[in-house]
Amino acid sequence: MQTQTSAVPRPSASRRERNARIRNVMKHVALILLGWLMVYPLVWLFFSSFKTNADLFGSLSLLPSEFVWDSYLKGWEGTGQYSYAIFFYNTFLMVVPTVILTVVSSVMVAYGFARFQFPLRNLMFILMISTLMLPHTVIIIPRYLIFRNLHWLDSYWPFIAPAAFGCFPFFIFMMVQFFRGLPRELDESAVMDGCNPPKILLRILLPLSFPAMISAAIFQFIWTWNDFFNPLIFINSVKKFPISLALRMSIDSTGGTVEWNQIMAMSVLAILPPVLIFFFSQKYFVEGIATTGIKG
């Protein structure tokens, strides 16, 4: 007995294309809404720098009802004898050497772990990675006592010296993962051409690890630039304050009403360097994160 099956109608090509366009539009709308949700605090911060205190706390409107155009000029003058030019200079003076030395020391230590065999190598690597699990508050008191005995308090050496000696295991681990993803045949070919280990690192591996180095530099720049707790512990003089402490001082040092538009204006200027560095280096940052994540 022959059975008959009913044919299931398939959607036409035009209908499938229409459904694909609808899904595409819905995805773009969802991404736009999510992007606006992420960007809105920055937009609100920017427009708040032009608002009066009454407008800032008395209205939910994004745009100010009355623009205050001198908030950036008055905010740049600071609240005392030091302007924000000094605070920005202090921040760069603390951040730039820390970033450079972090990248250099991390590359050197990672090269040793990734390419050489030596006694207790695995144990030392495990100990280094285990320091990632330590809460920062556990080591803040020993660090303070060490830097006090070295007479490094109220200076930037508590930030620069650890960076020079490879005290950031996160970046070392990231660079180790990247070096392990590079084929060892490159090293062997360089040895046949007469290169020693330092030349292999400088001439062969460093050009290839540029994206990973950029990723480490961006991470360290943003973390050090935004750091508030460590400068609060180690820096005491107002003339050496970075931006993070200067913004807090601007709130506390005013005797009368706090001009919040000036603080918002300086906050806008404070976030510009990390944002600009991230966007200009986004290509290398994404490439470095991808390669250190999938290789190893």
pLDDT at residue 295 in the model: 44
Report the sign of the C-alpha dihedral through residues 134, 140, 142, 143, in that order.
positive
pTM: 0.85
State the pLDDT at residue 293: 46
CA dihedral 150, 153, 158, 161 (to 10 degrees): -40
Query: Other CB atoms closer than 10 Å to residue 249's CB: what's the count?
Result: 17
- Residue keyed to tokens 């556990």: 138
| pLDDT at residue 209, as a whole number | 87
Contact (CB, 8 A) for 285 and 278: yes
Q: How much is the pLDDT for 9?
A: 55
Going residue by residue through the chain, which has 296 residues, state the pLDDT in tens, using 9 for 90 and above: 455 555 555 556 788 888 888 889 999 999 999 999 999 999 999 999 998 888 888 888 888 888 888 889 988 988 778 899 999 999 999 999 999 999 999 999 999 999 888 899 999 999 999 988 888 888 999 999 999 999 999 999 999 999 999 899 999 999 998 898 888 888 888 888 888 888 888 888 888 888 889 889 999 999 999 999 999 999 999 999 999 999 988 887 655 678 888 999 999 999 999 989 888 887 776 665 555 544 43
> Token pair for residue 160?
């620069």
Beta-carbon contacts of residue 49 (< 8 Å; ≥ 6 apart): 71, 72, 261, 262, 264, 265, 267, 268
Asked if 163 and 102 count as a contact pair (C-beta separation under 8 A), the reply is yes
Rounded CA gap, 110 and 105, in Å? Answer: 8
Q: What pLDDT shows up at residue 253?
A: 60
Radius of gyration of the chain (CA): 27
The reported pLDDT for the residue numbered 153 is 94
What's the CA dihedral at 278, 280, 282, 284 to 10 degrees?
-120
* Domain locations along the chain: 13-71, 79-294
179 neighbors 205 (Cβ within 8 angstroms): yes
pLDDT at 60: 80
Residues sharing a CB contact under 8 Å with residue 101, sequence separation 6 or more, in sequence order: 160, 163, 164
- Domain 79-294 listed as CATH 1.10.3720.10: yes
Which candidate, 16, 26, 216, places its Cα nearest to that of 109?
A: 216
Q: Count of CB atoms within 10 A of residue 37's CB?
A: 9
pLDDT at 290: 58
